[in-house]
Amino acid sequence: ESWQNIMLDCSYRAYEVKCDARSDDADKPSCGNDIAFPYFISFYVLCSFLIINLFVAVIMDNFDYLTRDWSILGPHHLDEFIRLWSEYDPDAKGRIKHLDVVTLLRKISPPLGFGKLCPHRVACKRLVSMNMPLNSDGTVLFNATLFAVVRTSLKIKTEGNIDEANASLRAVIKKIWKRTSPKLLDQVVPPPGVDDEVTVGKFYATFLIQDYFRRFKKRKEQEMREGDKDCHNTVTLQAGLRTLHEAGPELKRAISGNLEELSDDNPPPMHR
């Protein structure tokens, strides 16, 4: 504010702006300098430009934060995955037990993870579709798990035959990221044609088959018990009806006799 007055006071104006009598330039007609004009003008323009742009940048950043769709997978989800992975891998070996993968992904919120409300059986089904390679010691690698989670969340080459999808994805990765090492590529996308390779998908598929078989067997046993109970109730009901049918004539005679006795106990009325 009032920067132009300061600029004029600092500029060269003969006999208008005098120097202090104790200064070395006391005998000069003015203490100002013509450099004041370009200096103050450029300073004001640059400062105004920077402040306006800084103000706009702050507004745009806050607007982007408030309107961001957190359901879309982004870099902020990767930080959460790394933080929770470190709880199961405190020594930073880059691998955890395959049984901990379900618990890990249920702790991570969607869209990267499953969420706390995801049933265990549904989580196992999603792990079957991920199909991460399983090491001989029963562990899974960090790179393979993260790549499988992101691939499943974004639905990258997940439809159709898994070997054909992996082959197509490997070709795309080799074309775009040519410097990717073969070792890392084999970790995240196993090469097709290895039938005897144990994967997390095969393990949890076996687990689901066993679980479905136990549920099917339990349901059949329950149906058999209910069928035996219904059959017993039917036999009891039929036996009761047969007993009533056999005792029908005797009940009829007893009821008839009682009715005749009741009719004899009531003599006819006397007439005058």
The pLDDT, as a whole number, for residue 22 is 72
Spatial contact of 201 and 128, defined as CB atoms under 8 Å apart: yes
The pLDDT, as a whole number, for residue 77 is 82
The pLDDT, as a whole number, for residue 240 is 56
55: exposed, middle or buried (Cβ count in 10 Å: 0-12, 13-18, 19+): exposed
Q: Return the structure tokens found at 115.
A: 């969420």
Q: Return the structure tokens found at 191.
A: 């090469």
229-238 residue pLDDT tens = 666 566 565 6
146-176 residue pLDDT tens = 999 998 888 888 888 888 888 899 999 999 9
Cα–Cα distance for residue pair 117/164, rounded to 1 Å: 33
pLDDT above 50 for 71: yes
Pick the residue with more confidence: 122 or 258?
Answer: 122
Cα–Cα distance for residue pair 9/33, rounded to 1 Å: 9
Pick the residue with more confidence: 258 or 164?
Answer: 164
C-alpha distances (whole Å) from 236 to each of 43, 49, 240 are 106, 97, 6
Range with the poorest average pLDDT among 118-127, 195-204, 216-225? 195-204
Residue 250 — very low, low, confident or very high, per pLDDT cuts 50/70/90? low
pLDDT above 90 for 257: no
Q: Report the Cα–Cα distance between both ends of the chain, in Å, rounded.
A: 139
Ranges of beta strands (E only) in 136-261 are 139-141
The pLDDT, as a whole number, for residue 98 is 87
The pLDDT, as a whole number, for residue 272 is 44
pTM of the complete model beyond 0.75: no
Domains of the chain: 3-67 (no CATH), 75-203 (1.10.238.10)
pLDDT above 80 for 222: yes
Per-residue pLDDT, averaged over 126-150, amounts to: 88
pLDDT above 80 for 219: yes
Residue 196 — very low, low, confident or very high, per pLDDT cuts 50/70/90? low
105: exposed, middle or buried (Cβ count in 10 Å: 0-12, 13-18, 19+): buried
Per-residue pLDDT, averaged over 211-222, amounts to: 87
What percent of the chain has a predicted confidence (pLDDT) above 70?
74
Stated length of the chain: 272
For residue 111, whether the previous peptide bond is cis, meaning omega lies within 30 degrees of 0, is: yes
The pLDDT, as a whole number, for residue 258 is 47
Residue 251 — very low, low, confident or very high, per pLDDT cuts 50/70/90? very low
Tell me the average pLDDT of the chain: 78
The pLDDT, as a whole number, for residue 74 is 77
pLDDT above 60 for 203: yes
The pLDDT, as a whole number, for residue 255 is 45
Per-residue pLDDT, averaged over 202-208, amounts to: 84
| Among the listed residues 68, 204, 207, the one whose alpha carbon sits nearest the alpha carbon of residue 148 | 204
